[in-house]
Amino acid sequence: MSIFTKIIKGEIPCYKVAEDKDYFAFLDINPLAKGHTLVIPKRETDYIFDLHDNELAGLMIFAKKIAKAIEKVVTCKRIGIAVIGLEVPHAHIHLIPIDKVQDIDFSRPKLRFTESEFRETAEAIMKELGNQ
Ligand code: AMP
At 66-108, the pLDDT tens digits run: 999 999 999 999 999 999 999 999 999 999 999 999 999 999 9
If one residue of 2, 7, 11, 30 were mutated to test the ligand 1 pocket, choosing by the most ligand atoms within 8 A of its CB, it would be 30
pTM of the predicted structure, to 2 decimals: 0.98
Quote the ligand 1 centre to 129 CA distance (angstroms).
Answer: 23
**Distance, CA of 99 to CA of 80 (rounded, Å):** 9
Q: Which tens digits make up the pLDDT trace of 45-71?
A: 999 999 999 999 999 999 999 999 999
Nearest atom in ligand 1 to 26's CA: 21
Average pLDDT over the chain, rounded to an integer: 97
Nearest atom in ligand 1 to 106's CA: 10
Tell me the catalytic residues: 92
pLDDT at 121: 98
Quote the ligand 1 centre to 25 CA distance (angstroms).
Answer: 12
Q: For 3-127, which CATH superfamily applies? A: HIT-like (3.30.428.10)
CA nearest 30: which of 10, 15, 41, 40? 15
DSSP H/E element including 94: strand 93-98
